[in-house]
Every structure is written in structure tokens, then in C-alpha cells.
């Protein structure tokens, strides 16, 4: 029975991998069974900007930003342990990684 899903978002791949490693170790230390990280589709944004502000429209430059996403599913656990886990994760977040937690209470 799933108890919670934790979603991660970041523009930096090493940061999201480090934080997922921390979260999975914290979950196993508290005795919460968790799944392996699910690789969600990455989101890519592109912008095209002229290099020069005036007549040189033919010379343009492209910029892109990739948003990496991952998800971990937490399984059978007590609601008190899950709430402690959520508080612990939100207290020890890494800058540059967004976390969204969806919980189900029985």
C-alpha cells in the first residue's frame, strides 16, 4: 500500500542525484520501504535571442534550460514515522532542488 510519493525537480543533475541518495538512505534508516528513483521525462526550454540589438538579425544565439525530474514512492509505514520523515526532509533540503510530497492517510 503506497503511503507517499516524493517528487524532485532540479536544473542541476548532480544535485538531484545527491539529494535522492540522501532521501533514500533516510527512508531506509527510519524503516520505510521505498522504491528506486523513477526517471520522469525531462523538460527542455529554448530561447533564441539576437546577438546584436540592431540590424544583425541573422546572427542569433540559442539558450536552453533542462529541468530534470525524479520520483520516489514510499510504501507501508506508520503515519507518525512518515510525518517525521517529511519534516526531516523539508528541514534538510538542498538549494536548487524542489521537493513536492503527496501523502495518503488511512
Q: Taking the domains of the chain in order of start, what are their residue ranges?
A: 11-46+62-67+76-106
Q: For cell 521505498, name the residue.
A: 34
Q: How much is the pLDDT for 52?
A: 83
pLDDT at res. 58 = 82
Measured between alpha carbons, how far is 81 from 75 in angstroms, rounded to an integer?
Answer: 12
Higher pLDDT, 35 or 105: 35
Q: What per-residue confidence (pLDDT) applies to 67?
A: 98
Place of cell 532542488: 97
Q: Write out pLDDT tens, residues 15-60.
A: 999 999 999 999 999 999 999 999 999 999 999 998 888 777 788 9
Q: What is the pLDDT of residue 1?
A: 83
pLDDT at 6 over 90: yes
How far, in whole angstroms, is CA 6 from its chain's centroid? 8
Average pLDDT over residues 78-105: 94
Residue pLDDT, tens place only, 50-77:
888 877 778 899 999 999 999 999 998 8
Rounded to an integer, what distance in angstroms lies between the CA atom of residue 53 and that of residue 43? 29
Could you tell me if 72 and 35 are in contact, meaning their C-beta atoms sit under 8 angstroms apart? yes
Amino acid at each position: 500500500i503506497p503511503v507517499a510519493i516524493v517528487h524532485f525537480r532540479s536544473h542541476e543533475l548532480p544535485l538531484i542525484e545527491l539529494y535522492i541518495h540522501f532521501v533514500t538512505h533516510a527512508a531506509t534508516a527510519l524503516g520505510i520501504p521505498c522504491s528506486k528513483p523513477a526517471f520522469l521525462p525531462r523538460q527542455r526550454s529554448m530561447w533564441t535571442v539576437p546577438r546584436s540589438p540592431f540590424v544583425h538579425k541573422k546572427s542569433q544565439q540559442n539558450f536552453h534550460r533542462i529541468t530534470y525530474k525524479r520520483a520516489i514512492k514510499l510504501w507501508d509505514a506508520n503515519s507518525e514515522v512518515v510525518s517525521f520523515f517529511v519534516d526531516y526532509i523539508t528541514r534538510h533540503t538542498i538549494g536548487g532542488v524542489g521537493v513536492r510530497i503527496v501523502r495518503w492517510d488511512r
